[in-house]
Structure 1
Amino acid sequence: MQLTLGPVLYHWAPERWRDFHYRIADEAPVDTVVVGEAVCSKRTPFKQAYIPAVVERLEAAGKRVLHASLILVSLPRERRQTRELMQAEEAEVEINDLSCLASLGERTFSAGPFVNVYNEGTAGFLARRGATRICLPPELPLSAVKTIATALPQLAVEVFAFGKMPLAISARCYHARAHKLTKDNCRFVCEQDPDGMPVETLDGAGFLSVNGVQTLSHSSASLLRDIPALRTAGVASLRLSPQDCDMVAVARLFRDVADERLDPEEAESRLRVVYPDVPLANGFLHGAPGHARLAAEI
């Protein structure tokens, strides 16, 4: 079973973003890394100059590199940016919006978890268009994951296994609004929250996390205890979404469990130390509310 590190969804300082990927290249036991800006096109210029060096470092370390498209394409400059990425022959792409297909031509591609693939029919459509791997949305139950993987053995099926779960994307920026700013004059306040801005209920309970125009879960997915069942279901890869913690340590825990060198329960205990302040959840995989923490299926 392979490991994929997804794109950094948060607005980290450019040098931090670069150095994070350098360390991933040198130390993390992951097979594939997705780079680029997926959430907000206004953030793209901050990391653009560092992408070539990051890609070179990752590839030199033996990692496969995928270039992420935007999740939501709406403005003319975003359409232009997407078209240029899709037509860049040297880049393997991961599409996060179906509008990308118009510019891909006959090229193969990967599909990210932001594309709504909920059944084998949709997965089959993407496979016929050239998809070779699909990261399924985090809200799918194990039964649906197994159905898709069984129906399309030619596809590498990936599941979202760690990180705050993406729930929604909007053309409006709640992060800016919360600071009494507009989206066009946001001052990039999202950089103040490297793990998302917490949203609580009126009773003070953790509810959601806001990341610019994106809404994420308050809890973090952790499918460490579900890896045996995922392997049996035909899952080829696990996706780790970067959070404000030691992602090399996270990757090592998932690698050790996937390779059966570490007990899943022990790994999850260690994960709570690495990422201590965020509750862990696997409810979606078990057909329950996403924030729930349930026992692994046998």
Structure 2
Amino acid sequence: MNVHLGPLLFFWPRQQVEDFYRAALETPCQRIYLGETVCPKRRELKTGDWLALAQALTAAGKEVVLSTLTLIQAPAELSIIKKLCEQGELQIEANDLGAVQLAHEHGLPFVGGPALNVYNLDTLRILLDKGMTTWVPPVELSRDWLLRIHRAAEAAGVRDRFQLEVFGYGHLPLAWSARCFTARAENRPKDECELVCIKYPGGLRANTQEGQPAFNLNGIQTQSGYCYNLINDRDGMAGWVDAVRISAHSPACLEWIARFKAPNGKPWPLASRYCNGYWNQLPGMEWLPAPASIEA
């Protein structure tokens, strides 16, 4: 099973981004996703910079995919995706149906990102016909739900047309809004945010009144409060999941690439509190330490 490094969801200074991806070259991840998926105002690296970084990582032996914005609100944002499609060499990760259509028009294969609402075989087949080569399911789908789609795709003879990549580690991207929660937390209007999210390189935690992490706020994106972790669920993925995604959210996340790549054995000892509820058909913030049995 391959391990992929997902796009950076947070806003970091340019030098920190470059250092992070330089370190990622030393990991056993097969594929690296690059690009801004959350807010178009984040421009420490512009489109040309992402393309140059992609070329450097490709030359170093990594497979690179260019990720696109999830919430498209202006023609200028569509034009950025069009520019990514026009480069014609690297796949894009389409996180909006507008990006799907642009990739299809340019004859460019694409990854169907987790923000696309794909919950059944019929929708999956539409995207395959548009040129999708990898499917990253919505993060709320359980293992049993995905297994049913996997088996349906096998029965329909289309399972060999795509890789199945499961979000395996990181703060789950749950929702996007026209409002910026980080700016609001600092009493700033969105249009005058002054990019305050760069002050929160790992997001801004929102707790319940009892002090339990409920959400992680990242600009216009709402994430899970707990870090999602399927390290001890790998045995149940054998034979049908092609890749696991490690979400790029801190330099320390690179250590998890080798951990997920290591041979399965006894459960990985975990000192921190994580969540894996969605995978196990439980409320998302729940944590099931031992893997549940697979549906027969």
TM-score (norm 1): 0.90
Q: Partner residue of 2:22?
A: 22
Q: Partner residue of 1:140?
A: 141
Gaps (5+ residues) in structure 2? none
Q: How far has the Cα of 1:74 moved from its partner? A: 0.8
Does 2:233 correspond to 1:226? yes
Structure 1 residues 296 and 3 mapped into 2: Cα distance closer, same or farther (>3 Å)? same
Q: Partner residue of 2:3?
A: 3
Query: Residue 4 of structure 1 contacts residue 240 of structure 1 at CA under 8 Å; is this kept in 2?
Result: yes
Does 2:295 correspond to 1:296? no
Query: Residue 142 of structure 1 contacts residue 285 of structure 1 at CA under 8 Å; is this kept in 2?
Result: yes
Equivalent residues, number: 284
Q: Partner residue of 1:252?
A: 258
More helix, by proportion = 1
Q: How far has the Cα of 1:5 moved from its partner? A: 0.5
Query: Residue 166 of structure 1 contacts residue 216 of structure 1 at CA under 8 Å; is this kept in 2?
Result: yes
Query: Residue 140 of structure 2 contacts residue 284 of structure 2 at CA under 8 Å; is this kept in 1?
Result: yes
Which of 168, 188, 195 is the aligned partner of 1:161?
A: 168
Structure 1 residues 49 and 19 mapped into 2: Cα distance closer, same or farther (>3 Å)? farther
CA distance in 1, matches of 2:36, 2:12: 11
Structure 1 residues 42 and 217 mapped into 2: Cα distance closer, same or farther (>3 Å)? same
Q: Partner residue of 2:87?
A: 88
Q: Partner residue of 1:78?
A: 77
Partner AA of 2:142 in structure 1: P
| SS, match of residue 43 in structure 2 | helix
Query: Residue 169 of structure 2 contacts residue 247 of structure 2 at CA under 8 Å; is this kept in 1?
Result: yes
Q: Partner residue of 1:243?
A: 249
TM-score (norm 2): 0.91
CA distance in 2, matches of 1:264, 1:42: 44
Q: Partner residue of 2:115?
A: 114
Q: How far has the Cα of 1:211 moved from its partner? A: 0.3
Q: Partner residue of 1:101?
A: 100
Gaps (5+ residues) in structure 1? none
Q: CA RMSD in A?
A: 1.6
Query: Residue 161 of structure 1 contacts residue 221 of structure 1 at CA under 8 Å; is this kept in 2?
Result: yes
* Structure 1, 119-128 or 7-16: larger mean CA deviation: 119-128
CA deviation map 1:75-124 (0-9, x unaligned): 12112112222232133111000111232213221111111112222111
Q: How far has the Cα of 1:53 moved from its partner? A: 4.2
Q: Partner residue of 2:127?
A: 126
Q: Partner residue of 1:197?
A: 204
